[in-house]
Structure 1
Amino acid sequence: MSSEDRFRRVYAGNFEALLAYASRRVQQPEDAADVVAETFLVAWRRSADLPRDDEVRLWLYGVARRVLANHHRSGIRRERLGERLRQCLTAFATPDPGNEVPQRLAVQAALSRLNDTDREMLLLVAWEGLRPREAARVVGVSATAARTRLSRARARLRELVGDDPEAPGHVLDVLAVPVPKEGR
């Protein structure tokens, strides 16, 4: 009997038993089919090493056991890699700018209703990142006057946009922007 005929006989006689063995040890039926295919690939490659008929099934179970171990290790590595990739992607995910349009429009409308001094003070501190004392120099007032104007400007903007963080158009980062500490 040729080695190819012998392999066909081994395959036909053991396929169902190996598929049942693998199916009971994996979560997905497709994985069981992959384990059996890999097991028979090893058997084909090592057909010269196949034991006699009464021991061939045990040999195939041993090969399938090692294939399953590799399959499980690969699954664990895949899960870990997937988790690392998810973490990286969430770190680099950019929000949809379309979601910010209603908020931007509400803030722009509210800012346009403020007087020029209030609007300029808010924009210099909140958006340009200047300290109140620095904004005071830009506007040409004292640091005390700048802090007072900034406080009043925030209160007016809060009235125009609203205090409720759940309300449409509320922009927490504009209203609650921290004032940098002043060095006196």
Structure 2
Amino acid sequence: MDDERLARFEAVYRETYGQITAYAVRRCDSPQDAADVVAETFTVAWRRMDELPPGEEATLWLYGVARNVLANHNRFEGRRKARSAELDVRMADLYTDSPESGVEREAIALAFRSLPDNDRELLSLVAWEGLDHQEIATALGMSRNLVRVRLHRARKRFSRALTEAGVHSMPRKRPAPVEETL
């Protein structure tokens, strides 16, 4: 039985390590933090192997575990992130192509950070992880319809936050001046 358990864990680990690592890297401030989150995620998976669903559902289950591990991690890192966020934006502005692009990137980042945690998580699962509504529902333990409704609302809130920050999704062209004819 222990050999079967170990073989299953190793198979799941090989199949999902890259996805779970990418998930953690995109949500952590440092590679070390991401490595800690991944290690803790697979530690939980090992301890709870009996609860690990078969097949593709294992990946979604691991996303849910990683999300919980990240929530615990973020509770402790919240203050540090707030202090370093302003410095990170300033450093990014130093290395941008133009001042306008840095300002817009800062505005987008601030708008995104202004969203509730649940909105940021839903938008990230779609944009960064490429999950569809059903996969998100499985990972978060909710219905597909609830995901659809919450994602719609999150997108509206993000759009509103971007508008309030003066960020436009498409550059707007000014109409050509009309010349008067004499």
If the length of structure 2 is used for normalisation, what is the TM-score?
0.41
Q: Highest relative contact order (Cα 8 Å, sep 6+), 1 or 2?
A: 2
- TM-score norm. by structure 1 comes to 0.41
Considering only CA atoms, is the larger Rg found in Structure 1 or Structure 2? 1
